[in-house]
């Protein structure tokens, strides 16, 4: 459910302790930017707990170098390596009442912690608070990725917090792994995240959270900046791992099914063109229309005016690696789900351990 908080709460809210929970594996290069955004916050966390999954690039030493004396920072071992396991061990090591999730590579706005905690403190009955997710771009390719893959988030970046709240009115806030916080009571009651999934662990946890009928609020002024992938190879790898995670939990993306039908039709046309060359023209028309609808139009709408036309040649370098990663990842994950019973058994056990909702 979505809870709208009063603008002027009655009484003085009780201050609650808050921890940033951060999984890590080989994050020596990303640690500085992420932690600097934390240290620039208008409200500092009471502690930062990092669950390190056997990093080999000096991540632990780098974190020690970057530690700020104003904020206790601890690194705990994550023998399970995977992100869900890292968040679990970090949460277990924390003593805070509220757990905010943050991944290295992303950054938070100066008021992120303050605004998230305002919700928790003004309404102590809340179980979860979600913030705004905005794209973090550094070059033309990443700006193209943002426009194509994160269109709603690009629009959020242009809106005031009040406009974001009006747009979200009546919508369900779905928990994930970005720009979200939970009470320790809820986290402990649900047993944390699944520690056996490389990706989609946040989606599965979200299913468990929503099954508990939580009280949820949206903090539109709490901003988290999510890093964009910066090359076709990174886009492919991201989509492959994400969709493989979905497949390993028995989920089949409707978008993936539509992509399979579309590319199947293109393949059929290509085969026809071998015996009837004019089919090549139809093939090019359909492919061009797809690129326009899925990429060029979004880029034109969501970038500055006038748009930088030099970016448009990057659209195929985003669309095709993304689609290939989606299709290959879904296929691999679904095969794992069907052929390896451990995924079905673990998912059933994990979701079955959820306590009854309110």
The 10s digit of each residue's pLDDT in 47-59 is 999 999 999 999 9
195 upstream amide cis, omega within 30 of 0:
no
* Same-domain status, 63 and 211: yes
With a cut of 70, say whether residue 170 has pLDDT above it: no
Structure-model confidence comparison of residues 153 and 104, the more confident one: 104
* Same-domain status, 159 and 268: no
Domain membership flag for residue 10 = no
- How large is the average pLDDT for residues 153-173? 79
* Same-domain status, 152 and 70: yes
* Same-domain status, 147 and 186: yes
Domain membership flag for residue 108 = yes
At residue 155 the predicted structure's pLDDT band, cuts being 50, 70 and 90, is confident
Residue 254 to residue 219: CA distance in whole angstroms = 29
With a cut of 80, say whether residue 7 has pLDDT above it: no
Give the residue from 205, 227, 249 where a domain finishes: 227
With a cut of 90, say whether residue 157 has pLDDT above it: no
The reported pLDDT for the residue numbered 357 is 56
Mean pLDDT of the residues in the chain: 92
Residue 19 to residue 330: CA distance in whole angstroms = 35
- How large is the average pLDDT for residues 113-140? 95
Domain membership flag for residue 209 = yes
Domain membership flag for residue 8 = no
Select the highest-mean-pLDDT range: 169-183, 269-283, 295-309.
Answer: 269-283
The reported pLDDT for the residue numbered 11 is 64
Q: How many CB atoms neighbour CB 297 within 10 A?
A: 14
* Same-domain status, 73 and 170: yes
Give the count of domains, the chain. 2
Give Cα 270 to chain centroid, integer Å. 37
Domain membership flag for residue 273 = yes
> Between the CA of residue 286 and those of 66, 233, 275, 297, what are the distances in Å?
52, 25, 19, 15
With a cut of 50, say whether residue 6 has pLDDT above it: no
Domain ranges, residue 299: 232-352
237-241, 244-248, 287-291, 304-308: least confidently modelled range: 304-308
With a cut of 80, say whether residue 356 has pLDDT above it: no
With a cut of 80, say whether residue 264 has pLDDT above it: yes
* Same-domain status, 82 and 145: yes
> Between the CA of residue 232 and those of 16, 132, 135, 318, 325, what are the distances in Å?
43, 26, 17, 6, 10
* Same-domain status, 151 and 259: no
Domain membership flag for residue 186 = yes
With a cut of 50, say whether residue 1 has pLDDT above it: no
* Same-domain status, 147 and 168: yes
* Same-domain status, 241 and 289: yes
Domain membership flag for residue 330 = yes
Give the residue from 178, 196, 227 where a domain finishes: 227
At residue 187 the predicted structure's pLDDT band, cuts being 50, 70 and 90, is very high
With a cut of 60, say whether residue 306 has pLDDT above it: no
* Same-domain status, 219 and 161: yes
Give the residue from 227, 255, 287 where a domain finishes: 227
Domain membership flag for residue 283 = yes
């Amino acid at each position: 459910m979505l809870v709208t908080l009063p603008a002027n709460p009655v009484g003085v809210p009780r201050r609650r302790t808050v921890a940033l929970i951060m999984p890590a594996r080989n994050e020596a290069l990303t640690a500085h930017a992420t932690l600097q955004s934390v240290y620039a916050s208008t409200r500092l966390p009471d502690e930062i707990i990092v669950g390190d999954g056997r990093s080999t690039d000096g991540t632990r030493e780098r974190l020690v170098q970057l530690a700020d004396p104003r904020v206790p920072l601890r690194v705990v071992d994550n023998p399970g390596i995977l992100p869900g396991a890292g968040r679990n061990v970090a949460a277990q090591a924390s003593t805070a009442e509220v757990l905010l999730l943050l991944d290295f590579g992303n950054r938070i706005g100066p008021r992120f912690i303050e605004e998230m905690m305002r919700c928790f403190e003004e309404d102590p009955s809340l179980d979860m608070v979600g913030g705004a997710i905005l794209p973090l771009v550094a070059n033309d390719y990443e700006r193209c990725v943002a426009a194509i893959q994160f269109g709603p988030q690009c629009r959020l970046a242009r809106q005031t917090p009040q406009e974001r709240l009006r747009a979200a009115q009546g919508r369900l806030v779905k928990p994930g792994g970005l720009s979200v916080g939970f009470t320790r009571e809820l986290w402990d009651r649900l047993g944390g995240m699944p520690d056996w999934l490389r990706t989609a662990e946040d989606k599965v946890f979200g299913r468990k959270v929503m099954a508990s009928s939580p009280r949820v609020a949206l903090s539109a002024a709490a901003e988290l900046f999510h890093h964009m992938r910066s090359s076709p190879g990174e886009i492919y790898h991201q989509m492959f791992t994400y969709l493989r995670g979905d497949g390993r939990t028995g989920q089949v993306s409707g978008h993936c099914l539509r992509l399979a039908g579309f590319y199947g039709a293109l393949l059929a046309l290509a085969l026809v063109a071998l015996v009837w060359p004019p089919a090549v023209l139809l093939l090019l028309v359909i492919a061009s229309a797809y690129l326009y609808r899925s990429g060029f139009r979004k880029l034109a709408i969501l970038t500055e005016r006038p748009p930088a036309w030099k970016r448009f040649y990057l659209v195929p370098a985003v669309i095709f690696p993304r689609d290939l990663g989606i299709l290959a990842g879904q296929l691999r994950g679904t095969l794992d789900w069907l052929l390896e019973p451990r995924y079905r058994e673990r998912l059933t056990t994990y979701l079955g351990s959820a306590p009854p909702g309110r």
